């Protein structure tokens, strides 16, 4: 039988995800401004995104589109 804590930890993402706004488009290379104003991040993506679109990024890769609205940071 496996350890329940290990199974729970396996479900948690290994790299943090951030929400950002695309400021430069040159598919597949994008520049994304992270919502906490920590700066621009160079990202890649297999999917085309438009300028000004909000996206989730992790490990310098755009994962998916983000919903429009305010961003709230939750510290765990």
For residue 17, give the 3-state DSSP assignment.
Answer: coil
Structure tokens at 67: 């919903």
Number of structural domains the chain divides into: 1
Does 62 reside within a domain?
yes
Q: What is the CATH number of the domain that holds 30?
A: 2.30.30
Q: Are the C-beta atoms of 41 and 30 separated by less than 8 Å?
A: no
Flag whether 10 is in a domain: no
Is 31 domain-assigned? yes
Tens digit of pLDDT at every position of the chain (76 positions): 578 999 988 888 788 889 999 999 999 999 999 987 788 999 999 999 999 999 999 999 999 999 887 777 778 7
Residues of the domain holding 70: 16-75
* Domain presence at residue 33: yes
Residue 32 lies in a domain: yes
Q: What is the pTM of this model?
A: 0.74
From start to end of the chain, where are the E strands? 18-26, 29-34, 40-44, 54-58, 61-65
Give domain status of residue 4, yes or no.
no
């Amino acid at each position: 039988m496996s350890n329940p804590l290990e199974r729970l930890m396996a479900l948690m993402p290994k790299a943090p995800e951030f929400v950002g706004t695309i400021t430069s488009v040159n598919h597949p290379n994008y520049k994304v401004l992270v919502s906490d104003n920590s700066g621009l991040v160079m990202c890649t993506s297999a999917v085309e995104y438009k300028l000004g679109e909000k996206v989730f990024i992790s490990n310098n890769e755009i994962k998916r589109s983000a919903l429009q609205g305010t961003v709230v940071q939750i510290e765990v």
